[in-house]
Structure 1
Amino acid sequence: MLAEFVVLCLWFGSCAVTEAEDASMTRALKLMSETPLIDGHNDLPWQLRGQFNNQIKELDLHTLSTTHTNIRKIKQGRLGAQFWSAYVPCQTQYKDAVRQTLEQIDVIHRMCEKYTETFMFATSSQDILDAFRLNKTASLIGVEGGHSIDSSLGVLRTMYQLGVRYLTLTHSCNTPWADNWLVDTGSEPSRHNGLSSFGKQLIGEMNRLGVMIDLAHAPLSVMNQVLDWSKAPVIFSHSSAYSVCPHRRNVPDEVLVRVNQTGGIVMVNFYNDYVTCSKTAKLSDVADHFDHIKKVGGAGVIGFGGDYDGVSRLPEGLEDVSKVPSLVAELLRRGWTDEEVKAALGQNLLRVMKEVERVRDSLNSSMPDDVPIPYKEVENPCRTSFGYQNAGNEFSLSRAALLLILILQAGVTFNT
């Protein structure tokens, strides 16, 4: 009888746990039906390049099985809006970074055009809400890495016209105008002590255009400089909490406080190495980052930035985009209120984006910044100097000197 009683108690206990879990999931799905889940960073476009060289005409994104993301998983994950990453590696810097980035922007557009029943291309906060009402996933573009603009404000403006709405200032290499996060590890030297003068120009032009400044992959110096200078709030599109996992890709507490003060957002990354600083992690470990950021920076600075299809290791329970509702349910089980969960799901990002748009509109009478980066800061064998008067004069004088020498030599030859 005792054994039967113990078994019965265990059964009732497991039923109670299951019912609590089911109740949390039911509540999570309800909240996700009312507020769009907006994810800050997904590298599916890079997978489309790597696996198919961007030839998407024949593949079926409904059932694609070699990625963390497909349409079936998107539907299961209740993904309301996604910033698709237009990423190309640092090896393209000073070579073909602009071309390759444009090709990534192109594949995002073509993906939306091919699957119109699922995706709606979006460029504004209102577009996100409109897509959500239509039961479609709003699809936005973020360029991951300042090397993609080849130190050109004109390229930045052109990418904005193509729909780019955030720029990650660096990836894992210094640019001619900004240091990257590896500087804080000591594995790379600082070139600029943060941002150069042109980097500061870039911040102003991003504010004027309405391009969100993404500080994921930035060193501490750049984080603080941008928080000092930007008129608009910033985002960390896929970074976690440094105090929980002391990896330099994560955000330290003092910056979390400043993000709160300036109205920005930190969108939590799911990559195991940034979650636990090890190769393994669980869903609960990711929830620990949400808890910590809420404690230090407040519920108004938190978002989701899974980094799906851009990482090789993901936590148990968050293996692909379909599993995100389980994380939402876990936050509810930890005592998060409906209002806090809705803020993290999408309201925080919408607030940031609306403020970036407001700053843009307030600067609409300002002329585009057309002062180029100094040629000496970008001079390399693959770059021409057209338009730079000083560099052009030096080139012309060199040619004139060479021509004079040839004339004199010809004269000497003729006279003899």
Structure 2
Amino acid sequence: MKGLPLDSLESQSSTHTRAHRPLRQFSFAALISLLLLRLSSVSFEDIADVARDVRWSVTPLPKDPHRRALALMDRAPVIGSSFLLPLLADADRHLLPDGHIDLPILARWYYANEVEDPSFDLRKEVRGQVDIPRLKKGKVGGFFHSVYVPCPEDAGYPSQNEGNFTAATWRVRDTLEQIDTARLIIDKYADTFELSKTARDWKKAMRRGKIGGMLGVEGGHQLGSSLSAIRAYYDLGVRYITLTHSCHSPLADSCGLPGRDPIKPRWDGLSPFGLTAIKEMNRLGMLVDISHTHPKTASDVLTHSLAPPIFSHSNARGVFDVVRNVPDSILRRIGSIDKSRRGTFNLSDDGEGGKGWGADTGEVDKPIPSGDSIVMLNFSPGFVGADADVSAMADHADYIGRLAGREHVGIGSDFDGIEAVPRGLEDVSKYPKLVAELIKRGWSDSEIMGLTSGNLLRILEKAEAVARSQRHVKPYYEVFSGRTDLSKHDSPPY
């Protein structure tokens, strides 16, 4: 994109050349030794995966960017810098997982959640942007099924209690219906889809050629102001909650939506109840999603979450200045996780020119206790730019990669939740076009495999590790301050 200080191809030419060299040869005896070492620690069902790893390790990748993209989207991620290391690592099939797809809300809107409707047959092309043939063509190895219901005002109802959501509401009922719909879709196409409750489950599904997936609740207003709802959703397969949608929630402040009147912050970021909710999500192993949130909310989460937070479907304000995108200061703060980059930032050199949110508060120097995060690219043209196409989408990937680091970039398309799409990225079959464009721009093989799978799976594994470390922690029972219906009593209820 013109005017953006993106990494040049020239500055990466040596890395790019190395990435395209054929793998160096090694002796057959050494290969057998490595195989025996590998097989000594795996079960019989992994033997085919090991053989595939060996074949990939000795087969050069094609030079054509599109063919190379398809090949990389089939391969296990490079671990470290040695071509031998994949033989010693888990033989996982890493196809592309998408962090945010709205297939359940499409089923609700067009088919009233009746997944057995004859016209809703995912084995052939259906309305929308997602079905099985196109998922396979796009090399998709899984996705987060977004279980979304709108904020009351977006659904034509009055705002509830200034965002307390303590009055009677159908938001929790509707969320349960969407969870049910997502799971019914997974069950109906069990030969293709699989509910994955852990990163390991997801990897196993991809190794078997299945499309794995988790569920994500897209808004704190869908909790009914209850920590119990978080636990119940987790048990049903939900692995992230977006703290807000376009309205404030009991948990945090929203950024609102472009084209609307700005909404006045209520909590100045996280609410006290939201801080407790994050602790409960960390305890469970549920990701905290900060897409849709006000930047102060995102900053508070980066400060307080012990597990890596995610932006499940967001882009960069420095490329396209809308409230839904991530400010430079937040991206630079994520970039500061890498100690070699810390202290080298000059926000005035970035797209916001040092005038964006957090530029004057020392934001980039604040620590991130979890030590990780990921920003997953949103394909909605309203968040991409005035001329949304594959190149513009790659501009966001390049920009986030330059400020935050390419190891912190993923894909969260928002397909089936958006009506318009970027040119060249019309549906889930088109992901390889974006990957090929990034290869042309000098992204290395390992960076591509991070973008398409490794980065998100790494975040999931870290969140699960935090949950394991907190097995001794009891569930949290805090009652939201806006509720008056739940309190302790001395007398019986009759």
Q: TM-score, normalised by structure 1?
A: 0.84
Q: Does 1:38 align with 2:38?
A: no
Aligned partner of residue 213 in structure 2, secondary structure = strand
Aligned partner of residue 181 in structure 1, secondary structure = coil
Q: Which string of whole-angstrom CA distances, capped at 9 and with x for unpartnered residues, describes residues 158-190 of structure 1?
A: 100001000000001111231111299862121
Q: Does 1:268 align with 2:377?
A: yes
Instruction: Please tell me whether the aligned partners of residues 246 and 257 of structure 2 are also in contact (alpha carbons under 8 angstroms).
Output: no
Q: Does 1:176 align with 2:235?
A: no
Aligned partner of residue 350 in structure 1, secondary structure = helix
- Percent identity over the alignment is 40
Corresponding residue for residue 75 of structure 1: 136
Instruction: Give the partner amino acid of 2:112.
Output: N
- The equivalences for 1:172-251 within 5 A come to 172-182=246-256, 187-251=262-326
Instruction: Give the partner amino acid of 2:240.
Output: Y
Q: Distance in 1 between matches of 2:437 and 2:251?
A: 41
Q: CA deviation at 1:222?
A: 0.3
Instruction: Please tell me whether the aligned partners of residues 234 and 259 of structure 1 are also in contact (alpha carbons under 8 angstroms).
Output: no
Q: Distance in 2 between matches of 1:316 and 1:50?
A: 25
Corresponding residue for residue 152 of structure 1: 226
Q: Which string of whole-angstrom CA distances, capped at 9 and with x for unpartnered residues, describes residues 55-74 of structure 1?
A: 01133112242111111111
Instruction: Give the partner amino acid of 1:48.
Output: A
Q: CA deviation at 1:213?
A: 0.4
Instruction: Give the partner amino acid of 1:142.
Output: G
Corresponding residue for residue 345 of structure 1: 452
Q: Distance in 1 between matches of 2:105 and 2:214?
A: 15
- The equivalences for 1:254-293 within 5 A come to 254-260=329-335, 261=337, 262-276=371-385, 278=386, 280-293=387-400
Q: Does 1:61 align with 2:113?
A: no
Provide the alpha-carbon RMSD of the alignment.
2.0
Q: Which runs of 5+ in 2 are unaligned?
A: 1-61, 76-93, 156-164, 338-370
- Of 50, 62, 65, the residue aligned with 1:24 is 65
Quickly say closer, same or farther: Cα 1:183–1:313, change in 2 above 3 A.
closer
Q: Distance in 2 between matches of 1:272 and 1:144?
A: 19
- Of 440, 453, 470, the residue aligned with 1:333 is 440
Q: Distance in 1 between matches of 2:265 and 2:324?
A: 16
Q: Which string of whole-angstrom CA distances, capped at 9 and with x for unpartnered residues, describes residues 247-279 of structure 1?
A: 111111211122342310000001111011x3x
Q: Which string of whole-angstrom CA distances, capped at 9 and with x for unpartnered residues, describes residues 272-311 of structure 1?
A: 11011x3x41111000001111111111100001110111
The number of residues matched between the two structures is 364
Q: CA deviation at 1:116?
A: 1.1
Aligned partner of residue 193 in structure 1, secondary structure = coil
Q: Which runs of 5+ in 1 are unaligned?
A: 1-20, 380-384, 397-416
Instruction: Give the partner amino acid of 1:230.
Output: S
Instruction: Give the partner amino acid of 1:45.
Output: P
Instruction: Give the partner amino acid of 2:73.
Output: M
Instruction: Please tell me whether the aligned partners of residues 233 and 264 of structure 1 are also in contact (alpha carbons under 8 angstroms).
Output: yes
Q: Distance in 2 between matches of 1:87 and 1:161?
A: 17
Q: Distance in 2 between matches of 1:204 and 1:115?
A: 35
More helix by share: 1
- The equivalences for 1:101-180 within 5 A come to 101-180=175-254
Q: Distance in 2 between matches of 1:44 and 1:251?
A: 25
Corresponding residue for residue 428 of structure 2: 321
